[in-house]
Every structure is written in C-alpha cells, then in structure tokens.
Structure 1
Amino acid sequence: MSISAQDVKTLRERTGAGMMECKKCLTEAEGEMEKAMELLKQRGLAQAEKKAGRTAAEGVVTSYIHGNGHIGVLVEVNCETDFVAKTDDFQSFARDIAMHVAASNPEFVRRDNIPEDRVQSEKDLIKAQSADDIAGKPDHVVDQILDGKLNKALSAITLLDQPFVKDPDKTVEEVTKELVATIGENVRVRRFERYEVGEGIEVEQEDFAEEVKAQLGEE
C-alpha cells in the first residue's frame, strides 16, 4: 500500500526514528500509526541491547531539589558523545531520573550492584517471614515462593527495576532503552546520591516537664 510522506513525518516526530525505518514500519503495519509505533518500539529495544556494550563516557551530572528543600539528589547519566549529552531529550531524561530517585528512594542502580551479604540477609528475612506460607510445601514450590519474593524485594531497592515514577507501567530500565532507541547511543545511569534532611541523625526525645523540674531544682 502507499504510505504518505505526512504519515512518515508524523511517525518520525512522535518516535525520533529514522525516515526509512518509519516508512518500513508503516508499510508493515498497513498504515496503522499505533501499530507502526509498537513495531518501532520493539525494534528499538532490540537495538538498545546491541548498544549496551558500547562505551558511554560523556553525559551530565544533574540535580533535583524537592520543593520543600528537604530532599536533594545528584545523578550522573552517561552517553557516548558530548553532542547527545546536550540534547533536550537526554537532559530531560537525566532530570527525570533525579526526580525519580527523590521520589522512590532506590538504594542501588542495578541488581549486580547489590552486595552478596545484602542479598543473603534479604533471603534470610524472607524465609523467616514466610514460614507459615511454605510450611509443608514441596521443596520446588518453596523455592518458587522464596525466589519470587526475593525478586520483588530486590526490585524495590534497585533503580532500573523500579516502576518509573512518571509512567508506572514501565520500569526505569525500559524507559532508558526507549531513549537509546530514540537517540541512537548507549545510555547508562552510572550513580546517584540522595540526601534527606535529618537522615541518619538520632534525635533525642527529652521529657520537657522533667527538664523544667530539674532546672527549677537547681535554682
């Protein structure tokens, strides 16, 4: 079927993909825009996997301060070239990641950053908490239950595994891969630091009445 130049242009503007790839996907989708977008998405994610091994040493360090000034985040996001690092798409993504860290409070960037002793402690805790659920069940069923709970627990503390705060239907990793498909370069969230006012400080709770009495007794 014939694909109009306007449809190709529209698909390119909506996805950032190349003109030829847009036309190819529209042809395969028989002109259906949403179907063509899904095809581009699928192929983009595949391309993202191929680009994942490429060196990404450029990028930005950006920050996000929560409105009340109680939470602040610094995040480093890398790409392959300084040109891409300066684009609106890349810088917007970096800001979104910083905002996500502020909101979701992950502890690690990716699963392989989690120390073995932390993984083991999570396993031990889950096993203890699941004693009633696994009692009397076959070993293979017990393993499935514990593995599922462990995966959920580790995902909750891992940035790339968390539901993206601006689109909870996607993980942060999926959003990252979509950006790779758009800009054509490897993108890697390298590290982050999250600060929260008062975090880690043990506040001593004093009985005000007793303090006043002590002061009066000294006079």
Structure 2
Amino acid sequence: MKEKIQISTELVRALREKTGAGIMDCKRALEACGGDLEEAQKWLFRQGAAVAERKAGRQAKEGVIASYVHVGDRIGVLVEVNCETDFVARTPQFRELVKDLTLQIAAAAPLYVSRNDVPPAEIRAQEQAIAQEHSGKPPAVVERIVAGKLEKYYATVCLLEQPFVKDQNITVAELIASKIQELGENIVVRRFVRYQLGETA
C-alpha cells in the first residue's frame, strides 16, 4: 500500500494563495502531486476545467459590466462578465476576476473572446498567408505548420486563449475555470470593447 505523503500547512497555504482554491482542495492536490507545488497548481486548474465544462450549459444572465481606464487615460476597457446569480456577482472573488479581465484586455489587446468569434474569412486569410510563406515544403509539413501557427494566432487574438498577464503559466480560460470551481457557478465573458487613444476603426 502506497504511503500517504504528509503535507505541511505552509505548503497548503502557499497553494491557496496562488490559486484561491479551498483548503481541502489544495491539500488533495498536493497529495495527488507528491507535494510538488507547481504540479498541484496545474492539477487544480485541470479540475477547474472539468467543473467548468460540466457547468458550461447552465444559463448565466447575472453579472457585471465593468470599466477600466489605464494610467494616462490612453486605453479604456468595457467588459460584460456573466454568472448565474446576483449573489455570486457581488462576491469579492467574482469582482476580482472581472478586474483581472479588464487589466488583461487593456494589456494584451485581444480582438475576440474565443476562437469561435474569429470570422471564417480571417482564418482562411491566415491559413493562406502561412501556407504561402512555406510553399516550397511538402504539403504534409505545410499542413502541420499552418495548424501550429494558427494555434499561436488564436493565443494572441482570443482573450480566453491568451496567457494570463499575472501568471503566464495559465491561460485566461484556465483562470476562469478555477473561479467556476471556486464559486460553483458558470461564468461567461459575454463581450468586451477596448479603446486606445488615436486608434482608427
């Protein structure tokens, strides 16, 4: 029988500070990962993603519309983030998530919420440009290159696929999934707009 590893309170506290997960969840993650803090963090985010997937079909019509104006008044953001109940919308955890999302949009300048929002014509244009750039290579190689570069493109222009500005080890989608697990409700970024001074449409 495998001996159960002893997890210190300090380690649980450190993981809790990093992820915002509950004490028992942090302990379970650390036990599952042999006390490795980084692996336990990934384990928690995977659990959060599974919970988020189960809750994805639930209606989210409450929430907030939040604004953020960057220092110097040159960048402004409006975002609508929905949850299932007004109770969760008023919690500090939800408000903190929304604030983090406004900062993300200001800093990383995404164009779309998810890859489903990218117009097909734009995807085709990207595919054609990448394929043309590597036109001398065998078709199977070009296909792999196109697929890989498209993934990088999505990670640049789609909010949910961007690395989170405060922790580059996770994506925005993983951040939201962890909050869904923590708060027990579906959370959806409905829409956003980002303004930059002097920018033309």
TM-score after normalising by structure 1? 0.76
Work out the CA distance in 2 between the residues paired with 1:126 and 1:2: 49
Q: Which moved more, 1:139-148 or 1:81-90?
A: 139-148
- The answer for unaligned runs of 5 or more in structure 1 is 202-219
Q: Contact (CA 8 Å) 2:64, 2:80: kept in 1 or not?
A: yes
Closer, same or farther: CA 23–12 of 1 in aligned 2, 3 Å: same
- The answer for unaligned runs of 5 or more in structure 2 is none
Closer, same or farther: CA 87–117 of 1 in aligned 2, 3 Å: same
Structure 1 equivalent of residue 123 of structure 2? 119
Q: Contact (CA 8 Å) 1:64, 1:98: kept in 2 or not?
A: yes
Structure 2 residue corresponding to 1:74, chosen from 53, 73, 78: 78
Work out the CA distance in 2 between the residues paired with 1:114 and 1:2: 46
Q: Contact (CA 8 Å) 2:155, 2:163: kept in 1 or not?
A: no
The alignment status of 1:138 with 2:134, answered yes or no, reads no
Work out the CA distance in 1 between the residues paired with 2:107 and 2:29: 37
Structure 2 equivalent of residue 51 of structure 1? 55
Structure 2 equivalent of residue 175 of structure 1? 175
Q: Contact (CA 8 Å) 1:57, 1:80: kept in 2 or not?
A: yes
Structure 1 equivalent of residue 155 of structure 2? 155
Work out the CA distance in 2 between the residues paired with 1:49 and 1:142: 33
1:95, distance to aligned residue in structure 2 (A): 1.0
Q: Contact (CA 8 Å) 1:17, 1:181: kept in 2 or not?
A: no
1:39, distance to aligned residue in structure 2 (A): 4.5
**CA RMSD, Structure 1 to Structure 2 (Å):** 2.9
TM-score after normalising by structure 2? 0.82
**Count, aligned residues:** 195
Work out the CA distance in 2 between the residues paired with 1:36 and 1:151: 26
1:12, distance to aligned residue in structure 2 (A): 9.7
% identity of equivalent residues? 40
Closer, same or farther: CA 85–70 of 1 in aligned 2, 3 Å: same
Closer, same or farther: CA 66–54 of 1 in aligned 2, 3 Å: same
The alignment status of 1:110 with 2:114, answered yes or no, reads yes
| Alignment-mate amino acid for residue 145 of structure 2 | I
Q: Which whole-Å deviations, capped at 9, do the CAs of 1:154-181 have from their partners, x for residues lacking one?
A: 3211111111111112111111111111
Secondary structure in 2 aligned to 1:106? coil
Q: Which whole-Å deviations, capped at 9, do the CAs of 1:50-69 have from their partners, x for residues lacking one?
A: 11121111101101101000
Q: Which moved more, 1:42-51 or 1:32-41?
A: 32-41
Larger Rg: 1
Structure 1 residue corresponding to 2:104, chosen from 89, 100, 106: 100
Structure 2 equivalent of residue 191 of structure 1? 191
Q: Contact (CA 8 Å) 1:180, 1:187: kept in 2 or not?
A: yes
| Alignment-mate amino acid for residue 157 of structure 2 | I
